[in-house]
């Protein structure tokens, strides 16, 4: 079952960071008109008065993940791209600016247009400019009355991307052992993480303090003003729910109709978030193993129980820790890359057959498929070029969160993580130290998303979500405050609910966004 280019792109959209398939980009020539003269408005008012010049979209650049230009819209029409100028530092709105890449598909029925519906597909670090066209079919019903709009957040894709290591250096970096077994391996990992952070500082140091979620939320409100919308209509997925929550806290009275799908727990913090993902991926692996057993002799994995299949997985990872196997070309499959590839394929039930095949082939000494899955998680294409998704992810997470766990402190937490997941515990546990050497201080212990006075926000949780566990939806509803969060539960598998194919979720969400019908909080879709 070889993996096609189209399937590889689809896998990227399902990654732990909700990576987005590269299918569109902004034209470098798409610019706004010149700002008003110096004797006119200043600061944010001046920037809010800028006029956008939309132009046909070019194919995405390397930082966005590459790929072709977007296909024509259903029923005709084309995607449009432009740039919007925002303050680099909102504390100094008359200072330097950063240009943000935008993409738009105009509403089919302009006479009944509600406004712009702004999307963030997650990460942090995913390109909305390349992501929105890849999901166009799923959101076509919403284009009936909304202009569908997305963007590359600051530091991402075409929006002055954070740059760290070269492609060759990233190949070596991702081949490292991220679950060290002794002091020597721990030092090797620590030194590599320090070099990575130093490269980010060298290549993108001036922008690192300004790529955080709070600035991205302020960018979205400026976007609302420039697009001419009196209220902010929003669809956030995965990390996009955290970004949307921060927006609602900062601008509660500007919120119009908003949907949060695949919800990040705003109260979890670094350790809580890591533990939640360890449990979530373990649950997804349990469900995968049970599905394999339910198919009887068609399942190629050894074992007659979920525990036996998972013991096979842990034994395979332990073997790879001692000796990597051939992967793709001269590259080998390591324990870390195999763990990464397993996690990648658990984001959607659609990709479980690739996981089964990849595990079986790796057991026979062929690591190509699991390595391809890991590559898609890391934003590497078949030609060896990396998008800037992981660099942006590190930059945004590390400027957002204050915690700076060392590897020694992470090691002390391992028993708790191993209890959460025998397969993913070590990987997630060591991962809490990823910002140890970051050159810029963090902002918060956890984001404040309280939004008194906001319009209702539809919060959708999926009971089988591996990356943003179901409990995060209830936590978000509680944190938003009374009368704001409206909880909708989807009893299904995979990361997110709206694009799952479940008719109940789609109908309920569309009725809210298009007609303003707020469902009863606690509604369940099966």
pLDDT digits 0-9 by tens, 215-224? 999 999 999 9
Phi, psi of 171 (to 5 degrees): -55, -45
**And the tokens for 210?**
């300004």
Q: How far apart are CA 82 and CA 152, in angstroms?
A: 11
Active site residue 238: yes
For residues 525 and 504, the answer to whether their CB atoms sit within 8 Å is: yes
Distances (CA, A) of 166 to 12, 203, 350: 21, 11, 33
Does residue 253 have an active-site annotation? Answer: no
Structure tokens given for 165: 């290591």
Of the residues 454, 465, 475, 500, which is catalytic? 465
How far, in Å, CA of 115 to CA of 394, rounded? 33
For residue 24, pLDDT beyond 90: no
27 band by pLDDT with thresholds 50, 70 and 90:
very low
Q: Which tokens go with 113?
A: 């247009």
Q: At what angle do helices 335-345 and 352-363 cross, to 10 degrees?
A: 160
For every residue of 101-142, DSSP letters joined together read EEEEE--S-GGG--EEEEEE--TTT--HHHHHHHTTTTTTTG
* pLDDT value of residue 255: 98
Which residues face 386 on adjacent strands?
Answer: 380
Is 60 buried (19+), middle (13-18) or exposed (0-12) by CB count in 10 A?
buried
Compare 71 and 384 and report the one with higher pLDDT: 384
Distance CA 526, CA 520 (A): 16
Residue 381 catalytic?
A: no
Spell out the alpha helix ranges (H) of 180-230.
183-204, 213-227
Mean pLDDT, to the nearest integer, of 344-351? 94
User: Which tokens go with 49?
Assistant: 């008065």
Q: Which of 238, 376, 387, 434 is catalytic?
A: 238
Write out pLDDT tens, residues 476-488. 999 999 999 999 9
pLDDT tens profile 103-150: 999 999 999 999 999 999 999 999 999 999 998 889 999 999 999 999
The 10s digit of each residue's pLDDT in 350-409 is 999 999 999 999 999 999 999 999 999 999 999 999 999 999 999 999 999 999 999 999
Q: For tokens 């959607």, what's the residue?
A: 348
pLDDT at 41: 61
Q: What number of other Cβ atoms are within 10 A of residue 422's Cβ?
A: 17
Name the active-site residue from 233, 249, 437, 495.
Answer: 495
């Amino acid at each position: 079952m070889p993996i096609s280019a189209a399937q590889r792109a689809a896998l990227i959209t399902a990654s732990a960071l909700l990576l987005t398939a590269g299918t569109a980009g902004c034209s470098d020539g798409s610019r706004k008109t010149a700002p008003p003269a110096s004797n006119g408005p200043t600061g944010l008012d001046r920037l809010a008065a800028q006029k956008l010049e939309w132009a046909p979209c070019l194919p995405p650049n390397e930082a966005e993940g590459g790929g072709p230009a977007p296909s024509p819209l259903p029923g005709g029409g084309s995607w449009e791209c432009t740039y919007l100028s925002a303050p680099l530092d909102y504390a100094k709105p008359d200072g330097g600016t950063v240009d943000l890449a935008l993409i738009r598909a105009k509403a089919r029925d302009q006479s009944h247009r509600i406004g712009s519906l702004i999307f963030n597909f997650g990460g942090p670090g995913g390109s909305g400019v390349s992501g929105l066209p890849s999901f166009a079919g799923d959101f076509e019903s919403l284009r009936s009355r909304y202009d569908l709009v997305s963007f590359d957040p600051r530091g991402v894709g075409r929006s002055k991307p954070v740059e760290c290591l070269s492609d060759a250096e990233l190949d070596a970096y991702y081949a490292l052992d991220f679950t060290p077994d002794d002091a020597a391996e721990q030092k090797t990992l620590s030194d590599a993480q320090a070099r990575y952070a130093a490269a980010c500082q060298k290549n993108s140091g001036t922008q690192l303090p300004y790529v955080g979620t709070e600035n991205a939320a302020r960018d979205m409100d400026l976007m609302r003003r420039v697009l001419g919308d009196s209220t902010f209509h929003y669809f956030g997925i995965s990390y996009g729910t955290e970004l949307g929550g921060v927006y609602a806290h900062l601008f509660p009275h500007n919120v119009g109709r908003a949907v949060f799908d695949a919800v990040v727990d705003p109260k979890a913090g670094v350790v809580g978030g890591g533990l939640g993902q360890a449990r979530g991926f373990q649950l997804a692996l349990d469900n995968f193993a049970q599905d394999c057993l339910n198919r009887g002799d068609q399942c190629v994995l050894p074992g007659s129980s979920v525990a036996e299949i998972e013991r096979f997985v842990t034994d395979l990872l332990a073997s790879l820790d001692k000796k990597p196997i051939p992967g793709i070309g001269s590259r080998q499959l390591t324990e870390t890359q195999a763990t990464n590839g397993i996690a990648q394929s658990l984001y959607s039930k659609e990709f479980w057959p690739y996981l089964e095949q990849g595990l079986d082939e790796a057991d026979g000494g062929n690591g190509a498929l699991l390595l391809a899955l890991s590559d898609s998680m890391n934003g590497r294409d078949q030609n060896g070029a990396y998008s800037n998704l992981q660099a942006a992810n590190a930059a945004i997470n590390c400027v957002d969160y204050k915690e700076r766990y060392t590897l020694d402190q992470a090691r002390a937490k391992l028993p708790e993580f191993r209890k959460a997941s025998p397969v993913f515990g070590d990987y997630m546990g060591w991962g809490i130290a990823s910002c140890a050497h970051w050159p810029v201080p963090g902002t918060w212990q956890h984001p404040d998303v309280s939004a008194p006075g906001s319009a209702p926000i539809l919060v959708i949780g999926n009971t089988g979500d591996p990356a943003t566990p179901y409990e995060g939806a209830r936590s978000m509803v509680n944190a938003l405050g009374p009368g704001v969060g409206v909880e909708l539960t989807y009893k299904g598998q995979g990361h997110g609910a709206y694009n799952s194919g479940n008719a109940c979720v789609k109908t309920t969400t569309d009725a809210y966004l298009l007609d303003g019908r707020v469902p009863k909080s606690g509604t369940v879709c099966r």
